[in-house]
């Protein structure tokens, strides 16, 4: 088929016809190219054999005699005609099924050694080459049919791997451990190991201790310790440990009063500059209690109270008139 016939054929193609998949076009093109190569090989080897026979005859025939040119191989010509007929028949059947096919023309060329070295995708060496970009009436493949396009799966995998995960600070172990410590629950504390601090020291949960049973609290009327019930103390304990760190500090500062010392013993080496008075809020009223009852009800230690009140020195060299809880 000549170039003009190719253009006329492409103009008559209905652009509304659907091609099932590109796979059919690829397979059809492979079959036609393989047939073409087989025919060219047969013609090449047939002519080569004829040339060898002709050379053998020239040995016995005088050079002055003119040799008659052999007629073209009728078998090869008939095979090409049959192949073209089969392709035309298949194309007609596919048109009945609303499947558009593209006729691939095979031109007979003079066989030579260069014919065996051609590229199926080279538009220069293959005159019948039709670029896929020139085909406009193709039906797109379904998204599920990706077996012929593995690069799609690679792109999707790359996109999934490239998506950054957003961290949730509430699930971090450090934040959880800090929250448990602030709520008075069990947590993992730090412990000194040589010259380093290692977080491997489990700390128990905060619990409410017993009330003070000293004679000073029970004999006098100034202290409210004997009147505190376990229900009231438990409510104070739970309320305190639901507070934030800042709220805890404010609560301690509001429940402790400082009064300066009025007199000092002669030749005394005490560095105490004030006396602390401790309170607990009962029914929205501040009731005075001793240091032991104050600390045991809140589940804290004396060093914490002194530190939050601004006393950063140790308590080893200081003493209080009320009962002191050992740290």
Residue 166 lies in a domain: no
- Specify the number of domains making up the chain: 3
Global pTM value: 0.45
> Is the dihedral angle over the CA atoms 219, 223, 224, 225 positive or is it negative?
negative
123 and 230 co-located in one domain: no
Residue 168 lies in a domain: no
Please list, in sequence order, all residues whose beta carbon lies within 8 angstroms of the beta carbon of residue 24, skipping any fewer than 6 positions away: 99
Q: What is the pLDDT of residue 319?
A: 42
156 and 77 co-located in one domain: yes
Residues of the chain with pLDDT under 70: 1-20, 58-162, 266-270, 312-327
Half-sphere exposure of residue 21, counting CA atoms within 13 Å on the CB side? 13
Q: What is the pLDDT of residue 99?
A: 42
Residue 35 lies in a domain: yes
Q: What is the pLDDT of residue 272?
A: 73
154 and 180 co-located in one domain: no
**In the block, which residue shows the tokens 């209905």?**
14
| Residues 81, 308: Cα–Cα separation, whole Å | 105
Residue 268 lies in a domain: no
197 and 245 co-located in one domain: no
Q: What is the pLDDT of residue 161?
A: 62
137 and 9 co-located in one domain: yes
197 and 255 co-located in one domain: no
122 and 154 co-located in one domain: yes
228 and 156 co-located in one domain: no
Q: What is the pLDDT of residue 71?
A: 53
153 and 227 co-located in one domain: no
Q: What is the pLDDT of residue 277?
A: 93
110 and 9 co-located in one domain: yes
Residue 255 lies in a domain: yes
323 and 300 co-located in one domain: yes
> Is the dihedral angle over the CA atoms 102, 103, 107, 108 positive or is it negative?
positive
Please list, in sequence order, all residues whose beta carbon lies within 8 angstroms of the beta carbon of residue 105, skipping any fewer than 6 positions away: 1, 6, 127, 128
Residue 296 lies in a domain: yes
Where does residue 249 rank: exposed (0-12), middle (13-18), buried (19+ CB within 10 A)? Answer: middle
pLDDT in tens, 243-260: 999 999 999 999 999 888
Domain containing 199 equals 173-203
CA neighbor of 206 nearest in space, from 170, 177, 237, 175: 237
Residue 84 lies in a domain: yes
Q: What is the pLDDT of residue 78?
A: 62
Residue 27 lies in a domain: yes
90 and 179 co-located in one domain: no
């Amino acid at each position: 088929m000549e170039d003009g016939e190719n253009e006329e054929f492409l103009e008559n193609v209905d652009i509304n016809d659907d091609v099932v998949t590109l796979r059919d076009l690829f397979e059809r093109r492979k079959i036609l190219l393989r047939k073409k190569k087989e025919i060219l090989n047969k013609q090449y080897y047939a002519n080569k054999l004829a040339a060898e026979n002709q050379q053998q005859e020239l040995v016995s025939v005088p050079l002055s005699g003119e040799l008659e040119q052999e007629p073209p191989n009728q078998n090869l010509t008939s095979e090409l005609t049959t192949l073209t007929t089969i392709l035309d028949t298949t194309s007609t059947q596919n048109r009945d099924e609303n499947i558009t096919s593209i006729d691939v023309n095979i031109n007979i060329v003079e066989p030579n050694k260069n014919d065996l070295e051609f590229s199926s995708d080279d538009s220069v060496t293959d005159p019948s080459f039709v670029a896929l970009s020139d085909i406009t009436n193709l039906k797109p493949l379904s998204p599920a049919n990706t077996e012929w396009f593995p690069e799609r799966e690679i792109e999707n995998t790359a996109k999934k791997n490239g998506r950054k995960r957003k961290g949730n600070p509430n699930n971090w172990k450090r934040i959880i451990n800090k929250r448990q410590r602030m709520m008075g629950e069990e947590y993992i504390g730090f412990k000194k190991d040589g010259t380093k601090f290692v977080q491997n020291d489990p700390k128990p949960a905060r619990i409410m201790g017993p009330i003070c049973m000293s004679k000073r609290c029970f004999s006098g009327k100034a202290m409210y310790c004997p009147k505190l019930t376990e229900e009231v103390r438990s409510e104070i304990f739970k309320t305190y440990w639901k507070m934030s760190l800042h709220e805890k500090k404010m609560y301690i500062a509001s429940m402790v009063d400082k009064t300066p010392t009025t007199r000092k013993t002669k030749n005394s080496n005490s560095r105490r500059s004030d006396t602390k008075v401790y309170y607990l809020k009962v029914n929205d009223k501040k009731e005075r209690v001793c240091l032991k009852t104050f600390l045991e009800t809140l589940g804290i230690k004396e060093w914490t109270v002194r530190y939050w009140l601004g006393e950063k020195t140790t308590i080893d060299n200081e003493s209080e008139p009320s009962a002191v809880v050992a740290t």
